Amino acid sequence: MSHPHPELGPPPTLPEGGLRIVALGGLGEIGRNMAVFEYEGRLLIVDCGVLFPEPDQPGVDLILPDFEYIRDRLDDVEAVVLTHAHEDHIGAVPYLLRERRNIPLIGSKLTLAFIEAKLTEHRIQPTKIEVIEGERHRFGPFDCEFLAVNHSIPDALAVAIRTPAGIVLHTGDFRMDQLPSDGRLTDLGGFARLGTEGVDLLMSDSTNAEVPGFVTSEREIAPVIDEVIRTSEQRVIVASFASHVHRIQQVLDAAAKHGRKVALVGRSMVRNMGVARDLGYLKVPSDLIVDSRDIEEWPPEDVVLVCTGSQGEPMAALSRMANRDHPIRIAEGDTVLLASSLVPGNETAVNKVINGLTRWGARVVHKGNAKVHVSGHAAAGELLYVLNLTRPSNFMPVHGEWRHLRAHAKLAALTGVPDDHIVIAEDGVVVDLVDGRAKIVGAVHAGYVYVDGSSVGEITDTSLKDRRILGDEGFISVVVVVDSSTGKLTGGPEIHARGSGIDPAQFEQFIPQIEKALEEKAADGVVDMQEIRRVVRRTVGRWVSDTYRRRPMIIPVVLEV
């Protein structure tokens, strides 16, 4: 198996007739999916998604792929193929289109409708090309065939990319539900046909590669949702992804069956379900939906609320309800149903929300205590099935953390793919398909780009480190006034602290140590303000560390006279 190495350097020039693949996100992580294909100087992008921040990234709203690799080559981009409409595959499109607005977006009807609604908020009118399964379209040198795949959102697609270098099959996110709620099966016949034609490189979803067998059918969730709504004596609040149309449909059907009204809560939920309803993907019985602002007028036993926040996102509706920071107040006897999977890394945030809801008297139903979710990603049995159908010459696992990629690579080896034809890459690693062989040839920068409010890319890892220190240890500011010509102390020191846990009275005992350190530097003829700041920072930091075993942020302020 080929795998990245820390010393990988810049890639060489792409050989004539070769195809280059660079993932700018989605490898070694769940989210931020983006792969760039290059042939004869032209580029094709598959997906452009976001990653959601973890608790050690305070203040960050979203994490984008780094576009630096393609920034100088945006005019070479033929199109962006969007496999489906989940945020981890389309969420970064607005930020890419800010850099070149007329890049064509290729996708199914629902996918393009979701992204267009999102782009409207960014005041961008996209160039769209709608495709359906079974179609083939050429974008520059890339001949793309689209195949239906079943996933946890309607209209998902796999894409087979043909160039003279060979055929690459990118599955996108998929599963092999044999009884899908919308009747749309993964096109296994199409996969087999491509296998007969010859798949030179298979890039396949790895999220559930560690899970044995086959995933449960979506239909098995409906009775559980129905039971929860039927037996709940007061309000039912369902939290789900704002794009999970199938799951919301099951909630609507159960609510209608038991005579309850439904209110959608949250801007993205209202927007997406409105789009899905208008396009016919969501069947809404007449008079079922009511405005969330009017929900208090209905008896609690006649109400179902559908909201965002199943991942514990701090600004989502469910988290705010748990914190009593939302117009909808959780009451004793309410039932909250978390009807989504738990994205790795969100466990702490979700448990905090569950505890907050329980505190106010709600019964919380989640995948830990009821069968209220099935995964949208193929398990190991299904992945083996696809590997055997397609019989790829080379294999590259995508969409997963390291453990998922490794597990998927082992499955490929079991089906007969030679070890030296299995490529385990990570973000930024360059893979060339040349003469029927996929190999790692170098690496490019593919770091995180943080979105914080209206700023994009201005927050750095250093900034986040400072935020973590402030959050964990607080800060101490020290103000001194010095003579600019002699370096001698003429005023202060004044010490102010926030969040450090240190009694301010203790600073009075320490001030003489600061004065002594500055006097010694002045005696040595030090008048450089930067050096004086360093003296203050080191002196205060050493005292706090030795006395309290803490490391707050030290902010020296030196004023000259």
Is 246 annotated to bind a ligand? Reply is no
Is 376 annotated to bind a ligand? Reply is yes
32 Rama sector, left if φ>0, alpha if ψ -120 to 50, beta otherwise: left
53 close to 444: Cβ distance less than 8 angstroms: no
Q: List the structure tokens of 78.
A: 């033929």
Q: What is the 3-state secondary structure (H, E, C) of 174-203?
A: CECCCCCCCCCCCCHHHHHHHHHHCCCEEE
Is 373 annotated to bind a ligand? Reply is yes
Q: Distance (Å, rounded) from C-alpha 476 to C-alpha 495?
A: 7
DSSP string of 454-487, one letter each residue: TEES---HHHHHHHHHHHHH-EEEEEEEE-TTT-
Q: Distance (Å, rounded) from C-alpha 480 to C-alpha 495?
A: 9
The sign of the CA dihedral 212, 213, 218, 220 is negative
Q: Is 34 helix (H, G, I), strand (E, B) or coil?
A: strand
262 close to 251: Cβ distance less than 8 angstroms: yes
Q: How many CB atoms lie within 10 A of CB 208?
A: 24
Q: How many CB atoms lie within 10 A of CB 198?
A: 13
25 close to 427: Cβ distance less than 8 angstroms: yes
Q: Distance (Å, rounded) from C-alpha 306 to C-alpha 317?
A: 10
Is 377 annotated to bind a ligand? Reply is yes
Q: Distance (Å, rounded) from C-alpha 429 to C-alpha 418?
A: 20
Question: Which residues 6+ apart lie within 8 Å of 322 measured at CB?
Answer: 330, 352, 353, 355, 356, 357, 359, 360
The sign of the CA dihedral 454, 460, 466, 471 is positive
Q: Distance (Å, rounded) from C-alpha 147 to C-alpha 140?
A: 20
Ramachandran angles phi, psi of 190, nearest 5° = -65, -40
Q: Is 259 helix (H, G, I), strand (E, B) or coil?
A: coil
- Burial letters for 432-454: b for 16+ Cβ neighbours within 10 Å, e otherwise? bbbeebbebbbbbebebbbbbee
Question: Which residues 6+ apart lie within 8 Å of 431 measured at CB?
Answer: 20, 21, 22, 396, 423, 425, 438, 439, 440, 441
Q: Distance (Å, rounded) from C-alpha 495 to C-alpha 458?
A: 30
Q: Distance (Å, rounded) from C-alpha 269 to C-alpha 279?
A: 15
Q: List the structure tokens of 248.
A: 């919301």
Question: Which residues 6+ apart lie within 8 Å of 397 measured at CB?
Answer: 203, 204, 206, 209, 404, 405, 408, 409, 412, 424
Q: Distance (Å, rounded) from C-alpha 343 to C-alpha 516?
A: 54
Residues in the annotated binding site for substrate:
373-377
Residues in the annotated binding site:
373-377
